[in-house]
Amino acid sequence: MIYIKDTYATKTGELWDCGLSDLLKEVIANIDTSQVDAVYVGNMLGGVLNEQLNLGAKVATIIGRNLPVVRVEAACASGGVAVNQAWQALKAGFYSNVLVIGVEKMTDFSNEEVARALAMAADNTTEFNNGVTFPALHALVAQAYLNKYNLAPAVLDAVSVRSHQKAFADDKAQFHKKITEDDVRASAMVTSPLKLYHCSPISDGAAAIVLSTEQTDLELAASVTLASREFALADRSDLTSFAVVQEAVAKLDLSELEIVEVHDCFVIAEIIALEDLGIMRKGQGWQEPEHVKVNVRGGLKAGGHAIGATGVKQMVTLAEEMRTHQYQLGLAHNVGGVGAQVALNLIKKR
């Protein structure tokens, strides 16, 4: 069995005084690395924006020991997939204690530079090279969803409001401002029907966990990652559900799920996630579930979305919440692209 031993997350937001190295140094300084015998790093944009590749050597230098370090890139799912790879290595018996870090530094760059870098996670033949952005792709998904279930765009607004309410009390969240549905409607149109307050922000941040074969109170009971055979959105027969997520979740027993962190890069992504995971019925994912706590600290939408850090930060949030409130089963749902790759990490309280 594989257990969660130690956790830490930086604040997520516009961290002007921190570079990529500073974020790595902060998480490593707040984790006991003395027993760590390998490191997995989730990062998407270090080479594209920060001009820093070879993060393995960077991390080993900060820790101060020669270590096997693997950098994992899976777009926005980089952190969750890094957790999966570390879990597999531990299950195989290669290591006893593995440090998983997720990190991203984005806010030093213009919106145009960041948008272009993020768009590289789309298919470069049919999407990226034709100028398609992720807000535009998710807008197509949102429009298809609203049309399919005959819903007004206003259903998206309530999801944004809930996210900001949940982030308000979290001192490490990017936004500490409660908003109303009127605020959402008054925000700038990004790409119809998505407005500014329907979108997660550009963020900096890092998070870390230590996975171990040594028993603790939290077990990483299962970890599943799948990439879709339908990379581009144009390949999909249905834009209102992500088949790769449904296939991945079929490998898990979520009947007693109490808390979930879903990948809400846009509010429509949260809606579809709740339906694909079987938490809400089709056409009802915009409502708040009664039986499962969702994105209790505001998710990506209000808590912030430091791309490579997100999947690991989800694990930190779940571990802290499960230890505080004694939830017995929690799930981290981390997605790369528009449902192009998914990592599901299931935690059990022991």
Q: Catalytic residues, which ones?
A: 76, 305
Three-class DSSP category at 69:
strand
Burial of 211 (0-12, 13-18, 19+ CB in 10 A): buried
287 backbone dihedrals φ, ψ, rounded to 5°: -90, 160
CA 67 to the chain's CA centroid: 26
Distance CA 332, CA 41 (A): 17
Cβ 249 vs Cβ 343: under 8 Å: no
Residue whose C-alpha is closest to residue 299's, from 265, 258, 342: 265
End-to-end CA separation in angstroms for the chain: 11
Between the CA atoms of 315, 106, 60 and 216, what dihedral angle is there, to the nearest 10 degrees? -10
Three-class DSSP category at 267:
helix
Distance CA 266, CA 59 (A): 31
Distance CA 197, CA 200 (A): 8
Which own/partner contact pairs does 159-163 have at CB distance under 8 Å and 24+ positions apart? 159/198, 159/264, 159/267, 159/270, 159/271, 159/286, 159/301, 160/184, 160/197, 160/198, 160/267, 160/301, 160/302, 162/288, 163/264, 163/267, 163/270, 163/295, 163/298, 163/299, 163/301, 163/302, 163/303
Distance CA 268, CA 273 (A): 8
For 86-105, give the DSSP string.
HHHHHHTTS-SEEEEEEEE-
Question: In the structure encoding, which two tokens stand for residue 327, read together?
Answer: 């939830």
